[in-house]
Chains A and B, each alone.
Chain A
Amino acid sequence: MTINLALEYIPRRMQELGYRADYYIRFRHFVLQPSEELILDADNQFFYLVEEAENVKVESETGIFDLSDTTTNEMQYEHQNKIHITNYLSGINHLRFIQVIPKHKIKTTIKN
């Protein structure tokens, strides 16, 4: 998914889910060490895979993104809950996401 597509897609998706504008977004660029396996805790969050993602597997409850996987009929760019990332390369690899963090509902009055 390109970044432009993601930035158009995300607000509409958040509206669909009822979050309106009550969320933060962050751009995350992970640097994966050789053969590194990483688990992201994305409960109550969304991670959108953007830009190139080769020689890497991104798997979560919502689906899998792995260009070398021949057993799936569709690749998933939107990931939630526990996300397992595997770097297939024996060298450094890069992976980019847009992270969407729906806000907690509790509002406080403490502000300096």
Chain B
Amino acid sequence: MLKATKKRFDIKILVANSSVSDTFELDKNIVKVHGILVTSDKDDLLYYRGTQKVEINKEEFFPENYESKLLMSGINVAPKQRYYDLGGVAPGNGLVKISYKDLDDGRTVFAPYRVSLYLDCEMEDEL
């Protein structure tokens, strides 16, 4: 039986104008990735300063310099509609790679922040 689940992966941005990459593995029983969303503990920094490349199973879904603001949803968006629809991607090898870049923006002052990548997934209930 299939059920919906959300997965979250965090990366930390500690230095201004730095690039941070990390690869995460989805649970073995995840069969589809439906949507993607980014959030932060300092939303304004993510909104103004952030860009990221996202790959799932070595397939690029968002290229380098794709602005984080395009993957963020504010409180005016209904919770079920906040995720960017990927159309049901097969996880393949289950590896999700995010390459995030922080760039100076005159409207913000840098402080270390966390970027969270959320994935809306479907998983098999039993292993």
Contact = CB atoms under 8 A, between A and B. Distances in A.
Contacts of B22: 82
Size category of the A interface is 10 to 19
A44 B27 contact: yes
A22 B27 CA distance: 15
Chain B interface, DSSP helix/strand/loop, else mixed: loop
B127 A43 contact: no
Contact of B28 (A81, A82, A102): A102
Interface string A17-28: 111001000000
A43 B24 contact: yes
Interface residues of B, number: 8
Contacts of A81: 24
Contact of A104 (B24, B27, B28, B126): B28
Most chain B beta-carbon contacts within 10 A, residue among A17, A18, A22, A43: A43
Given A18-B126, A18-B127, 10 more contacts: A17-B127, A19-B127, A22-B127, A43-B25, A44-B27, A44-B28, A81-B24, A104-B28, A105-B28, A105-B127
Interface of B: 22, 24-25, 27-28, 94, 126-127
